[in-house]
Chain A
Amino acid sequence: MGSSTSHLSKELLTEYQELTFLTKQEILLAHKRFSDLLPQESRNMEDSLRVRVSTEQILTLPELKANPFRERICRVFSTAPERDSLSFEDFLDLFSVFSDAATPEIKSHYAFRIFDFDDDGTLNKEDLKQLVNCLTGEGQDTQLSTTEMKQLIENILEESDIDRDGTINLSEFQHVISRSPDFTSSFKIVL
């Protein structure tokens, strides 16, 4: 690694620190981890800020490997037209939202987007079904039966859908989240 690769410039670092919830050390660590995913020839400073890393590579990170929502996370934070690759700034965004310092509003906003599997802006029954399947896993013995799933989704809608339109929108989601004090501590990924 040449001298141009090791450190981000001070101005850039300060700018990133102001725009995200991360500290300087966390930004530097994120940059290092991002560069490790890049091919050898792009690991210099200018390229690392420009080049995108494909989702498959991001999914090899140990922090995301075991997460059932990993594909959704990559998709939500990606700014590429095909939503299949992340630039360094997307990467920083990801860890900023999942950091300790992020506010609960930001976290719940992004949690909503991650759980919205069909990207239509609300959580309908299909979204909830996929969400529950992610939570319970793929095994035969852990998956809920059809009746149980139906009962569960009806209960969720009964509890959270205040305006009774059959879907959960962002405000209703945030209302539910505000009643759970454990959310901020569980919606966290630390590098």
Chain B
Amino acid sequence: MLQRPKARLFGTGIQSYFTFLRFLMVLNLLTFLLTSSLVLLPLAWLHSPEPGPALNTSYHCPTSREPQPDLSRIHLHLWDVFTGRALSNTYLFYGSYRMGPESDSQYSVRLAYLLSPLTCLLLCFCGTVRRMVKGLLHKRLLSRDYRPRLSSKVFVSWDFCIRSREAATIKQHSISNEFKIELQEEQRTLQMQQQTRKQRARQLLSYVGLNMIIGLLVVGGISAIYWATKFSQNYKDESLSLLLQYMSPGVISLVNNLGPLLFGFLVQLENYPPNTEINLTLFWCVVLKLSSLGMFLFSLRQQAVLCSGRSDHSSCEPHGYNQCDQCWENSVGQELYKLSIFDFFLMLAFAFLITLPRRLLVDHLSGQFWVWLGREEFLVPKNVLDIVAGQTITWMGLFYCPLLPLLTSIFIFFTFYVKKYTLLRNCRPSPRLFQASSATFFFQLVLLLGLLVASVPLLYVISSIPSSVNCGLFSNYSAPWQVVPEAMALRLSPSAQKVFYYFGSNTFWYPILILLSLTLTVCLSQSGANKRAIKGLRRQLLWQVREKWHLVEDLSRLLQESGGSDSWGPESPSSRSSRPRSFCPGFPCPGSPRSRSFMDPGK
């Protein structure tokens, strides 16, 4: 179905980007399958009530002022689909799931609804960590001794699949650039080591100062998001104008697009080695992206939580939150849904309204400006961050909008083909190569961070925040997690319950923690011992080779003395002469019959 693009022009790092897209699509489909099989199918099987907001059963609430939306008349107005209003009574959102009391049915839909996001997150965590560990051996954090940087670049970087002259030239340019950058960096490091203490202090100070400025910018961007969300939530129901509905996603995208440009500009003002520049910019971009999503969710929840769970709902009236009519989970779900849609359409807009015209203009117009502008570069880190942000939004919305993974996988499917088209037709390769192995590790790491940013709020909501009284499955509980003790009390025997309580108590986890710390200590000390052993073995190897050549020299000297003819023995490397052809240590000599056994596949 999804083929890897033949993007040899652009390097294996970009191929790993498309592999990563495919991995995420499969992940989302599996999540959707899990949710639907655990929650939707049993709901349909048990002939539960039609999806829709529950009737007013609480005696706190007067009869509602607004008429309930007619279930049979679905709004086909396109606008309502985009804001999620038309779908708010379907299974897409939390609010429309309904179920009788727990004691009625065999199968606890509530338990399934609660546990399926948690299970999905746990499975995604395990899958991502496993993929990360596979690449752990080769990651860049290894010390110099075990990571032959330049040698591996020299021996491995040529891609033998390249067929066109043009691709070969581009590859040669990028390899040459990479060598030059690495050599420059090494010169720079040597220079820095020779600096005086005063210069070093000044360098450090400017580094810290730069980071603080960028940190302040990030904080500023995030507060802008907070205020924008608060503003748009306040006027949420009043008008349907485009600007207000999509204000928060718009501000988030603005911050996330301007931020990296600013960071890159600021970092370039200081004269850092190229690798440091790139790593610093990348680090702050990741921080900005994930914290903007976190702040968005936080401000949404603040609005919602402040107004629900309070007995005097009069204070919420000005904000448009009427406790009896509103379903705050639905509104959070709708916001995340809008953000998802907005991201996808923004990606389409960038691809077709900016990159494509740029390529057309650059190709057909001549002039200094257009030559300087050139086609757009396909920046792998930026694209990966966008995808990971989209996935984080999906994970955040698992509880409020259970069918969001299906939507996300459809979006990723289209994103794959749009990106492939953009890459092959409208972009040029970046002069900086992105190696596949380090790329995979970086993708998995950022994905893991996104998972963390998504899980923490979810766990907090599930365990502590009371749900709305008016909608959804958990309306009668103080927190969604309370379903679990109740379900256990209903369905399990007392002894089984005791076992589960034991697993949740401190007396179980403290010994486990102590055991884990012991294991960690043992592993660390083993790895330290291994490093020392490797050092020792290398020294031994050196001495043995020197001894060997020493013996050979002695031998040739003795033979010379006894034989009297001029020396025919080999010279040791220390005498700097070329080795004669008859001695090829450790290698089948050329001219010897080519043995078939080399081609024997593993016999």
Contact = CB atoms under 8 A, between A and B. Distances in A.
A10 interface: no
A120 interface: yes
B599 interface: yes
Interface in B567-589: 573, 578-579, 581, 584-587, 589
A63 interface: yes
Interface in A36-72: 62-63, 65-69
Interface of B: 12, 135, 137-138, 144, 146-152, 154-165, 167-169, 172-173, 175-176, 179-180, 183, 186-187, 435-437, 538, 541-542, 544-546, 549, 573, 578-579, 581, 584-587, 589-590, 594, 596, 598-602
21 contacts: A19-B596, A66-B163, A67-B168, A68-B168, A121-B584, A121-B585, A135-B175, A137-B176, A156-B150, A160-B151, A162-B542, A163-B545, A165-B549, A170-B587, A176-B151, A177-B155, A180-B155, A181-B135, A181-B437, A183-B155, A187-B156
A107 to B, nearest CB: 10
B435 A155 contact: no
CB-based closest 3 A-B pairs: A121-B584, A137-B172, A163-B545
Contact of B599 (A62, A96, A169, A186): A96
A66 B165 contact: yes
Given A67-B162, A136-B176, 11 more contacts: A21-B601, A121-B584, A121-B586, A121-B587, A134-B158, A139-B172, A152-B179, A155-B150, A165-B549, A176-B148, A186-B157
A67 B171 CA distance: 11
A135 B161 contact: no
Given A179-B138, A180-B138, A106 B598 contact: yes
A88 interface: no
A37 to B, nearest CB: 17
Contacts of B148: 159-160, 176, 179
B600 A19 contact: yes
Contacts of B590: 119, 121
Contact of A66 (B152, B162, B538, B579): B162
Given A164-B542, A180-B156, A182-B435, A151 B186 contact: yes
A152 B183 contact: yes
A173 B155 contact: yes
Interface string A66-109: 11110000000001000000000000010011100111001001
Nearest to A131: B154
B163 A63 contact: yes
Nearest to B8: A186
A137 B437 CA distance: 25
Most buried by A among B179, B186, B542, B596: B179
A152 B150 contact: yes
Given A166-B573, A186-B159, A65 B165 contact: yes
A152 B137 CA distance: 25
Given A21-B601, A79-B594, A142-B173, A120 B155 contact: no
B155 A115 contact: yes
A5 interface: no
B172 A185 contact: no
Contacts of A93: 599
Given A19-B599, A106-B598, A169-B587, A66 B164 contact: yes
Contacts of B599: 19-21, 93, 96-97, 106
A144 interface: yes
Nearest to B602: A103
A134 B168 CA distance: 11
A187 B156 CA distance: 8
A27 interface: no
Contacts of B544: 163
Contact of A183 (B135, B156, B180): B156
Given A142-B176, A164-B545, A186-B157, A176 B586 contact: no
A115 B175 CA distance: 17
A135 B153 CA distance: 10
B158 A69 contact: yes
A111 B155 contact: yes
Given A109-B598, A152-B179, A179 B155 contact: no
A182 B135 CA distance: 11
A102 B601 CA distance: 8
A78 to B, nearest CB: 10
Contact of A176 (B137, B155, B435, B596): B155
Contacts of A32: none
A132 B154 contact: yes
Contacts of A19: 596, 599-600
Contacts of B187: 151
Contacts of A190: 161
A186 B160 contact: yes
A167 interface: yes
B579 A120 contact: yes
Contacts of A115: 155
A166 to B, nearest CB: 5
Given A19-B599, A69-B158, A144 B176 contact: yes
